Amino acid sequence: MSDTLKVYKGNDVVGTAERGEDGKAKVTIDSLNANTDYPKGTYQVSFENENGESEKVDVPAFKTKPVSVTGVTISPKTASVDVDATTKLNSSVAPSTATNKSVSYKSSDDAIATVSSNGTVTGVAEGETSITVTTQDGNKVDTATITVNAVEEPEPEVPEEPEE
């Protein structure tokens, strides 16, 4: 029987792996949080074979890697808004477990429409512009097209002249 590496958190085994020909064993632990410091002793390891299990040894302090952004999606892809009115764009960062989900929005023409940091678009003047969302991590981008419609001013009512 070959050696089996056992990883413990407290008294629970959270991962196991067979030792390879190179004397190494690779274990994946699913319950770790990304971009997190784990102090020495949070996890312990031991080897087990036909002769029994070795004494548990503390795993040194370590930090997990952040989960990188792979993309971003803006929705809706097209929207219309009247001058002086607002509409909301939403963004979704992938993967959902990404460590840094921060995004920024930018209008290609602030004279047509402006956009706030939370994706609220305000119509400024009649026309069409693009709103781009960009992730802080990885500079991933997606774009929506915004059409700004002029608001028809109602004709002022002219009182009729009284007939004589």
pLDDT digits (tens, 9 = 90+) for 89-142: 999 999 998 999 999 999 999 999 999 999 999 999 999 999 999 999 999 999
Across the range 151-164, mean pLDDT stands at: 75
How many CB atoms are located within 10 Å of the residue 149 CB?
13
pLDDT of residue 162: 75
What's the whole-number mean pLDDT along residues 140-153?
Answer: 93
User: Residue 1's pLDDT is what?
Assistant: 60
- Per-residue confidence (pLDDT) for residue 156, from 0 to 100: 74
- Give pTM, 2 decimals: 0.69
Is the pLDDT at 159 greater than 80? The verdict is: no
pLDDT at 152: 79
d(CA 102, CA 127): 29
Q: Which of 93, 87, 95 is closest to 144 using CA atoms?
A: 87
Cβ-Cβ contacts under 8 Å for 102 (sequence gap 6 or more): 135, 136, 137
For the chain, the distance separating the N- and C-terminal CA atoms, rounded to the nearest angstrom, is 116
Cα–Cα distance for residue pair 27/31, rounded to 1 Å: 12
53 near 93, Cβ under 8 Å? no
pLDDT tens-digit series, residues 18-72: 988 888 889 988 888 889 999 999 999 999 999 999 999 999 999 999 999 999 9
- Name the strands in the sheet holding 78-82, side by side, starting at the edge strand that comes first in the sequence: 78-82, 141-149, 127-135, 103-107
Q: What is the pLDDT of residue 94?
A: 96
